[in-house]
Structures are given as structure tokens and as C-alpha cells.
Amino acid sequence: EYGMEKPQGYSVSFHYNPHVEYHHFGSSHPMKPWRLTLTKQLVLAYGLEYCMELYEPRPATFDELAIFHDREYLSFLSNVTPQNAKPDDNAYLAFGFGGDSNDCPVFDGLWNYVSIYSGASMNAAYNLLNKQSDVAINWSGGLHHAKKNLASGFCYINDIVLAIQLLLTQHQRVLYIDIDVHHGDGVEAAFESTDRVFTLSYHKFGIDRNGYPFFPGTGNINEMGPTDPANRGKGHSLNIPIDDGIDDDQYKWLFKTVTGAVIDKYNPTAIVLQSGADSLGGDRLGRFNLNIKAHGFCIETVKNYGRPLLLIGGGGYTPRNVARTWCHETAVCVGAELHNNLPTHIPYIQAFQGAENGGGILYPDLHNTKRHDNLNTDAKLNKLVAQAMENLRYIEG
Ligand code: ZLV
Ligand code: CA
Ligand code: ZN
């Protein structure tokens, strides 16, 4: 009908509930759900909706979220409002709200927001289970820091853990890969006692000049999950700590080498890929120097292994570049190449125009926006890979 057909036998689905866009963490908070509006506009402007199946998932229910989260935590989360919140309350602080940084504020519609992004990840996982899709995408998810009874680092509900739990109903081994600039600690912790999930996170790790560790402060190379040999989860986490300013070629080599080794050794039957866009150059919170196509290389590399793939969002604090990246990666999934000149007749085009916003093109050089010197020498990265390979000996048969 539209003169385009999806390739026979290969199907990509896009799971998106637009109500997620209308939530605000507060004007000075770096997490902007509005970046999802920009992403959707680019995806539509390039006509990518004709290359995949679109779904508008319902919000997840309390009982569905309770598959992972504690009911006491969910009760608190579903009832708290900016009006009734008591920031000095023990429960409030114990569940990760408030505090000095206020990373996890209570805002209007919070429960609605978390139910929507979680519902989309669960809907995407069901599509993989039903074999309705080979790749299922939810750019609104990927909130990897949330624990079963704790909000952390802008994350309240861990949609990734919920989706992996669904995949485990049919898959013996699920590989979780996380290219957000932050350590995927919540997902790692949730599955620390099983050998049916292997978690692999690439992230900035280290102490800053001000003496504070880069958030969340975990994920060094020697952290491989539980150390007790009786624990089945032993050795089923791999962390790749990276320093400021890593460039495209270094990251692509690191990702291809380590991810390839993990897939060969672990042989997962499904893969979940968290594609946080805060690992791009010029991100407001990130420290890396990646361009959009280097970030997308990771998605392409994983997709080419041909396993059922759940692709989810995550961090990303320079909204125009988050939208560019996730639009590009949607195209990578459907096998389309996109024109570098952005279509001009789209809403919010101003967000992409002007030299400071990337000059109206899809692939601006983000290296030009670099604020971080590259502290990663090839020698250090070689040593890191050697240590990663050594760690992987734990999962050899
Ligand atoms: O992208 O920045 O560093 C998934 C994700 O991975 C901290 N929080 C906490 C621990 C003590 N600090 C506070 C430091 C604040 C520095 C200024 C902000 C300004 C306003 C609001 C929040 C931040 C902020 N918070 C920057 N980095 C943090 C991290 C949390 C990072 C979460 C990453 C989430 C979506
Ligand atoms: Ca990561
Ligand atoms: Zn992040």
C-alpha cells in the first residue's frame, strides 16, 4: 500500500506510548522525556514507520511490576505526589527519593510515567517471545539503576529486569549488554545469583578531580558478580571500565572484541541491548567522545549475530543528539541508510539547526564538541581486553 515492504522473514517492531513525553522531572533536571518526542519526529520524518510494526503499549500494572519490585516500594511509588511527599520521612529517603542530589525527584504523574516505559519494554519482550519480531525497540526504557526497593540515578522501575524476566520464561541464556556511559548496576545486581543471565556493561569508571567517583561508582574490571563458588552467578558479569574521552576507533575495537568473545563463549539465545546515548561526544553528563555512527556500530554488531534482540534506550542528556542516534539505530535495525540532510518540514526542526545544534544534518561531527581529553591509551585498552578475556575463563565449559 505504501510501496515499501519489509524484507521477507525479518521483522522489527517499535514499541512506543507517546504519553511518556508529557512528564517532567523539573526544569533543572538533566533527564528530559521530551527527547523522545524529538526521536519520534526524526523516525517519522525519514519514513521509518513503514519499515517496521508500530505498537502503542498499555502501561504496566502494579502486579506486573511486582514480578521484580517489592510491593511496599510500589505502594509508596504509586501513592507519592509532589503535594503529599514528606522529604524528611524515613520511607521517602529509604526508597531513594530526595537526598542531597535529588537525582530521583517526585514529580506529577510519576507512577504513570514509570508504568508507561515499563509496559513498553514488557510489550517488546512479549513480541520476541511470540516470534512476532526479530528486533523489538523501546527507546523510552533502559532505566538500569533501579533496584527492587530503591530508586536510583533517575530510575524508579527497572524495566530491563522485568523484560529479561519475561524472556527467561522461554530462553535458557539471556545476554544483557549496556553501552550507557554509566554502569548497569541494577540489572547486574538483580541477576547476580543466576547463570541464566550474563551482564556486560561498558562505562566510565574512576575518581574525579573533586574526589567523587563517577556515578554509580561500581563496575571495575575485577567486579564479576558473587565470589562464592557455590553461587551460580559467579563470573556471569563482565564490567569494562573506561576513562574519559574514548574515541570512535578505540570504542569500536573494544566493543567488537569483548562482546564477540562473550557471545561466542556464553552463546545466548536472546540479547537485550541498552543503548544509552550519554556515551556520545558532547553529552551533558557523559565523558566519552563517540560519534553517532560509532555508537550505532555497536547495535549493528549485535544485530548481526541474529539472535532475538530487545533494543532499549537509557541515558542521553543532549536531546538533539539522543534523537539523532536513536533514529540512526532504528534505521540500522531495519537495514535502511538515511540521508544526512534532515527533512526540513518536520516539527521541532529548529532543535537541530544552527551550528551549535548540529547544522541541520543527521550526522554532525560530535568530536568537535569534545570537552574531555582522551585518557585511554591503546596500551591501557589492550591490557583491559586481556583482563576481560581472563575473566571470561570462568564461563568456559
Ligand atoms: O543515564 O549533575 O552523581 C540512566 C543513566 O545511567 C550523582 N548522580 C549523585 C551521587 C552524588 N551525586 C550528585 C551530583 C550532582 C552533579 C550535577 C546533576 C544536576 C542535576 C541533577 C542531577 C545531576 C546528576 N546526577 C549528574 N549525575 C548524577 C548522578 C546520577 C546519574 C544517573 C544516570 C542515569 C538513565
Ligand atoms: Ca554501561
Ligand atoms: Zn547513563
Tens digit of each residue's pLDDT (9 = 90 or more) over 328-355: 999 999 999 999 999 988 999 999 999 9
C-beta of 29 in contact with ligand 1 (< 6 A): yes
Residues 6+ apart with CB under 8 A from 44: 346
Q: Is 394 exposed, middle or buried (0-12, 13-18, 19+ CB in 10 A)?
A: middle
C-beta of 233 in contact with ligand 1 (< 6 A): no
Grid cell digits, residue 306: 541474529
Decide: 393 and 263 in contact? Cβ < 8 Å: no
> Residue 368's pLDDT band (boundaries 50, 70, 90)?
low
Residue 4 alpha carbon to ligand 3 centre in Å: 36
C-beta of 276 in contact with ligand 1 (< 6 A): yes
For the stretch 257-266, pLDDT in tens is 999 999 999 9
pLDDT for residue 326:
99
ipTM given for this complex: 0.96
pLDDT for residue 214:
98
What are the percentages of helix, strand and coil residues in the chain, rounded to 5? 40, 10, 50
Give how far Cα 384 sits from Cα of 180, 205, 217, 218, 237, Å: 18, 13, 18, 16, 15
Rounded Cα gap, residues 17 and 122, in angstroms:
12
The number of CA neighbours under 13 Å toward the Cβ of 1 is 2
Greater confidence (36 vs 397) lies with: 36
> Residue 397's pLDDT band (boundaries 50, 70, 90)?
low
Average pLDDT across the chain, whole number: 96
Ligand 1 pocket: which of 144, 285, 322 to mutate (most atoms <8 Å of CB)? 285
| 367 pLDDT higher than 90 | no
> Residue 87's pLDDT band (boundaries 50, 70, 90)?
confident
pLDDT for residue 1:
44
- Among protein residues, the one with the nearest Cα to ligand 1's atom 3 is 215
- The region, left, alpha or beta by phi > 0 then psi within -120 to 50, assigned to residue 155 is beta
DSSP string, 320-376: HHHHHHHHHHHHHHHT----SBPPSSSTTGGGG-SGGGTTTBSS--GGGG--S----
C-beta of 168 in contact with ligand 1 (< 6 A): no
C-beta of 103 in contact with ligand 1 (< 6 A): yes
Decide: 332 and 300 in contact? Cβ < 8 Å: yes
Decide: 122 and 159 in contact? Cβ < 8 Å: yes
Which ligand is nearest the CA of 219, by number? 2
Grid cell digits, residue 144: 538500569
For the stretch 146-159, pLDDT in tens is 999 999 999 999 99
Residue 140 alpha carbon to ligand 3 centre in Å: 13
For the stretch 234-290, pLDDT in tens is 999 999 999 999 999 999 999 999 999 999 999 999 999 999 999 999 999 999 999
Q: What is the dihedral of CA 297, 40, 200, 278, to 10 degrees?
A: 80
Residue 140 alpha carbon to ligand 1 centre in Å: 19
- The region, left, alpha or beta by phi > 0 then psi within -120 to 50, assigned to residue 170 is alpha
- 312: β partners: 138, 274
Strand (E) or helix (H) holding 259: helix 248-266
CA 17 to chain centre: 17
Residue 155 alpha carbon to ligand 2 centre in Å: 14
Grid cell digits, residue 2: 505504501
For the stretch 67-82, pLDDT in tens is 999 999 999 999 999 9
Query: How many percent of the chain have pLDDT more than 90?
Result: 91
The number of CA neighbours under 13 Å toward the Cβ of 393 is 6
This prediction's pTM: 0.97
- Among protein residues, the one with the nearest Cα to ligand 1's atom 9 is 101
The full set of domain ranges for the chain reads: 12-57+116-394
Residue 277 alpha carbon to ligand 3 centre in Å: 8
Residue 365 alpha carbon to ligand 2 centre in Å: 23
| 88 pLDDT higher than 90 | no
Active-site residues, by number, are 183
C-beta of 6 in contact with ligand 1 (< 6 A): no
> Residue 117's pLDDT band (boundaries 50, 70, 90)?
very high
Which ligand is nearest the CA of 199, by number? 2
Ligand 1 pocket: which of 36, 101, 140, 326 to mutate (most atoms <8 Å of CB)? 101
pLDDT for residue 254:
98
Ligand 1 pocket: which of 24, 25, 103 to mutate (most atoms <8 Å of CB)? 103
For the stretch 179-218, pLDDT in tens is 999 999 999 999 999 999 999 999 999 999 899 999 999 9
Which ligand is nearest the CA of 30, by number? 1
| 8 pLDDT higher than 70 | no
What is the atom index within ligand 1 of the atom nearest the CA of 276? 1
- Among protein residues, the one with the nearest Cα to ligand 1's atom 5 is 315
386 closest CA partner among 291, 205, 257, 228: 257
C-beta of 30 in contact with ligand 1 (< 6 A): yes
Specify the CATH architecture of the domain 12-57+116-394: 3-Layer(aba) Sandwich (3.40)
- 371: β partners: none
